[in-house]
Amino acid sequence: MTLSFIIGSFRKRIILGFSLLIILFLSAMIMVEITGIPFTDNKGTFAAQRSKTLSDMELASGILGERLSSWFTERRVDVDGLSTSPLLRKSIESRSARSGKELADELASFLASHPDVAAVVLFDPFTTAVRASSGGFGDARSAPDIGIAPDKFARLTLPGYLEIVEIVIAADKKPHLRILRQLLATDSSNRIIAILVAECNLEESLRPLIWSVRSNIISHEWGGDLGVTIGGEVAQFHLDARGVTFTSTPVSAVNKFSPIRLALSGIEGPYYGLDHLGQPVLAFYRQVKFDRGISLGLVLKVDQHIAAKPVRDDLRLQLALWFAMFIVGLALCILMAKQLSRPIRELTGAVERIASGDLAARAPETDRAEIGQLAVIFNGMVAQLQTWQQDLEQQVSERTKELQQKNAELERFTYTVSHDLKSPIITIKGFTGSLEKDLAKGNYERMAGDLKRVSDAADKMNDLLRDLLELSTIGRIIKTSETVDMNLLVADVLAQLAGPLKNRNRTVAIQPGLPEVFCDRRRMAEVLQNLLENAINYMGDQADPQIQIGMREEAGEYIFFVQDNGIGIDEKYHKIIFGLFNKLDVESGGTGIGLALVKRIIEVHGGRVWVESEGEGKGSRFCFTTTKEAPK
Amino acid sequence: MNGEPLTILLVEDNPDHAELIMRNMEDFQVANTINHVKDGQAALDYLYGRGKFVDRKLFPMPHLMLLDLRLPKVDGLDVLKEVKTSETLRAIPVVILTTSDAEKDMAMAYEYHANSYVTKPVNFVDFSKLLKDLGFYWLAWNSHPW
């Protein structure tokens, strides 16, 4: 079983081939779209999208980092502003009865004008007791209450140890930015008069900050992690569409190569893998450095699935287009295949008709293209075939007719011969029988007559056999044809017939300038001799006997004639007089072979012979044709 | 024999054969008259009483016709056809007496309603006997309608 057997027709093959081509082409396009071109910068749309997302993230994280850094600096400036306020410092120094209330008011006023600062408290540098507080530190009585150990507090009271900035886990278990600051006396003595502690709830503060950034430069689909290491724990804010959540995890529990750890360790770069929730993400991480040795790890991330969504949507659209193109292509292909195979099918139809014997059928000569040319050539071939067939049929028909004629002729010949040869035998046997009878009776009267009849019958038989023999040799001797001058031939024949002509007082008029004829000279002489003898013998009682020999030219052949004004021949005998041993006049001499011989000779030469006579007493004209040219 | 003069019309182109036939017929004396013509045209002229055969006393309607087939001018078969299609002549018994034993001739002769078809025997004794039998059968034994 071959492939072509499975695929089927030419048309199906074209359709299949082109469909495969279209599929291959479109698939290649899609593949390039997805995977890019090998060994080039084109790595496909997914990679392009990824790298675009990452570069966006890099940019966005940079901006976000700047903002965070600014925010941090701003808070320090805020606290610096408060801690250097002469008014506040004077209030602390005054230590009046009202000062506690005044301080608290001032702090509250500060908080009111600085919404990012959540709580502020003033400690006495010697007793660590709270001088005044506002915001979240309302319950605290002394420094340890807010997690400031005495040794740390002692450090804060050292001169020149102006400021400590740190991130701590506050009472609400969330990271707070804490700024601890020495407040100095107003008299330029650098005497520490109070310790100021201000805290910002990072979650509360960063949320609007980050959201403001998100709305501008960060895609809504992105999330982020903001992490910081505090006392062996990694405290993280996770930002996503739902808001900000907080986790705190021991450092050891966070994968060393997770983006947040990498960011915290001061590296920046893209990340492609699982996030802390085990989700596959595309992320960019970087460290955001603040002053005072504080740094945050910042990770911007997006679910890989979501990141690829625009590309997937795009691809889906492309696939839909691809499919539409395939359908259109297939339809065009079928149309084209039909168009292509139509001439072939038509040709096949014509060939089938011709094969089934209809040689008149022709293939449609549709165009000048290959199939059209094939059709033209094929039609030429069929036309040739048809001509041959027609020629052949005609030849067969002619040959058959000829054979039938020959057969009929032969049958007539055999019949004639058997009839005519039997006649003398019956005569001979009949009269010898009669003679025996007469002899027995002694009746001698008619014996001489009967004997003569027997003798004549034997002579007749002899004549018949001689004539038959001559007739049968004509076909064989005819080969020696030559160009014969008919003027000379007629003269020769007339010279031979000089005796009979003179005896019966006949003259012959010859048309001058007879042409040359290609024939068997001796046979042609026989023809003329027989026709002339007939003209001489069957003159009847014509008072002015005339015999003419002439020629006329008709349709490319010579028609010779021997004409007399003798007894003539009735039209009904015009055919049978050329039959073998046929005689119109029983009394006349000869066997009746003459005209049969003439007919045979002329026909062997390829001519025809006939008689023209208007009837008895009107004379006759025996005509025969000869070809002008010698046969090639 | 009812004393009526019986006439045979012999159509034969071969004078020798005609002589033999007539000689035999005369020997057996079955017919009063044998009229001999040499071709088909003459035979038809005789039967229709045309030309030199106009006198029915000399050339009466025959009681039997002996007809050769190969005849000059009008062929024997054509004469037979003419006789057998003619209202006035078809009653005449026609015996084809010919040298031809071709099946085609015989078939054609019967096709044209020949009454009998006999081939001339080569043997003289047979020839004589045939003519004798023919004469007796058709003229003496056979009843004719007129």
- Domain assignment of residue B146, yes or no: no
Contacts of B77 in chain A (CB under 8 A): none
Q: Would an 8 Å CB–CB cutoff place B41 in contact with chain A?
A: no
Q: Would an 8 Å CB–CB cutoff place B16 in contact with chain A?
A: yes
How much is the mean pLDDT over chain B? Answer: 86
CB-CB under 8 Å, A582 with B72: yes
pLDDT of residue B94: 93
Between CA A562 and CA A519 the distance in angstroms is: 18
Domain that holds residue B88: 7-141
On whether both A446 and A534 belong to a single domain, the answer is: no
Domain that holds residue A559: 479-627
Amino acid occupying residue A309: K
Q: pLDDT-based confidence at B67, cuts 50/70/90?
A: very high
When CB atoms are compared, the residue of A415, A422, A430 closest to B20 is A430
- Could you tell me which chain A residue has the CA closest to the CA of B17? A427
Residue A190 and residue A159 in contact, taking contact as beta carbons nearer than 8 Å = yes
- Domain assignment of residue A285, yes or no: yes
pLDDT of residue B95: 93
Q: Would an 8 Å CB–CB cutoff place A429 in contact with chain B?
A: yes
* Mutation target among B16, B19, B105 for the A interface, most CBs of A within 10 A: B16
- Domain assignment of residue B102, yes or no: yes
> How many degrees, rounded to 5, is the angle at CA A626 between CA A625 and CA A627?
130
CB-CB under 8 Å, A429 with B122: yes
* Mutation target among A439, A586, A616 for the B interface, most CBs of B within 10 A: A586
Between CA A492 and CA A498 the distance in angstroms is: 10
Q: What is the DSSP string of A130-158?
A: EEEEEETTTT--BGGGGT--HHHHHHHTS
Distance of CA A425 to the CA centre of its chain: 90
On whether both A502 and A521 belong to a single domain, the answer is: yes
Residue A235's SS3 state is strand
Q: Would an 8 Å CB–CB cutoff place A440 in contact with chain B?
A: no
Condensed to tens digits (0 to 9), the pLDDT of residues A501-558 reads 888 888 889 999 899 888 888 889 989 999 999 888 888 888 888 899 999 988 888 9
On whether both A470 and A491 belong to a single domain, the answer is: no
**The pairing of beta strand A175-184 with beta strand A163-169:** antiparallel
On whether both A577 and A596 belong to a single domain, the answer is: yes
* Cα–Cα distance list, A582 to A348, A514, A529, A595, B31 (Å): 62, 31, 18, 9, 32
User: How near does any CA of chain A get to the CA of B66, in Å?
Assistant: 16
When CB atoms are compared, the residue of B23, B122, B128 closest to A426 is B122
Between CA B81 and CA B112 the distance in angstroms is: 5
Give the residue from A331, A322, A337, A339 showing the smallest Cα distance to A7.
A337
- 3-state helix vs strand vs coil in chain B, percent to 5: 45, 15, 40
- Domain assignment of residue B40, yes or no: yes
- Domain assignment of residue A567, yes or no: yes
Between CA B112 and CA B80 the distance in angstroms is: 7
On whether both A487 and A615 belong to a single domain, the answer is: yes
Q: What's the whole-model pTM score?
A: 0.50
When CB atoms are compared, the residue of B23, B104, B120 closest to A434 is B23
- Domain assignment of residue B2, yes or no: no
Domain count, chain B: 1
The runs of H, that is alpha helices, within A84-201 are: 86-94, 99-113, 150-156
CB-CB under 8 Å, B72 with A586: yes
Give the residue from A604, A603, A602, A373 showing the smallest Cα distance to A478.
A604
What residues of chain A score a pLDDT lower than 70?
Answer: 1-8, 97, 214-217, 241, 475-480, 586, 629-632
On whether both A385 and A323 belong to a single domain, the answer is: no
On whether both A515 and A532 belong to a single domain, the answer is: yes
Give the residue from A335, A338, A219 showing the smallest Cα distance to A284.
A219
Contacts of A436 in chain B (CB under 8 A): 124
Please name the residues between 209 and 268 in chain A that touch chain B, using a CB distance below 8 Å: none
pLDDT of residue B36: 92
- Domain assignment of residue A562, yes or no: yes
CB-CB under 8 Å, B14 with A423: yes
- Domain assignment of residue A53, yes or no: no
Please name the residues between 554 and 573 in chain A that touch chain B, using a CB distance below 8 Å: 573
Condensed to tens digits (0 to 9), the pLDDT of residues A185-212 reads 888 788 888 888 898 888 888 777 777 7
Q: Is the ipTM of this complex over 0.95?
A: no
CB-CB under 8 Å, A573 with B73: yes
pLDDT of residue A6: 56
On whether both A375 and A403 belong to a single domain, the answer is: yes
* Mutation target among B37, B73, B104 for the A interface, most CBs of A within 10 A: B73
What are residue A404's phi and psi, to 5 degrees? -60, -45
On whether both A529 and A497 belong to a single domain, the answer is: yes
- Domain assignment of residue B136, yes or no: yes
Q: Would an 8 Å CB–CB cutoff place A419 in contact with chain B?
A: yes
Q: Would an 8 Å CB–CB cutoff place B72 in contact with chain A?
A: yes
- Domain assignment of residue B55, yes or no: yes
CATH number at residue A378: 1.10.287.130
- Domain assignment of residue A578, yes or no: yes
Amino acid occupying residue A409: E
Between CA A193 and CA A185 the distance in angstroms is: 6
On whether both A489 and A454 belong to a single domain, the answer is: no
On whether both A398 and A314 belong to a single domain, the answer is: no
CB-CB under 8 Å, A582 with B73: no
CATH number at residue B122: 3.40.50.2300
Q: Would an 8 Å CB–CB cutoff place A586 in contact with chain B?
A: yes
- Domain assignment of residue A167, yes or no: no
pLDDT of residue A559: 93
On whether both A518 and A470 belong to a single domain, the answer is: no
- Domain assignment of residue A526, yes or no: yes
Contacts of A433 in chain B (CB under 8 A): 123-125, 127-128
Q: How many Cα neighbours within 13 Å face the side chain of A448?
A: 1
Task: Output b/e per residue, A201-236; b: 16+ Cβ within 10 A.
Answer: bbbebbeebbeebbeeebeeebbbbbbbbeeebbbb
- Domain assignment of residue A608, yes or no: yes
The domain boundary residue, chosen from A420, A450, A477: A477
User: How near does any CA of chain B get to the CA of A572, in Å?
Assistant: 8
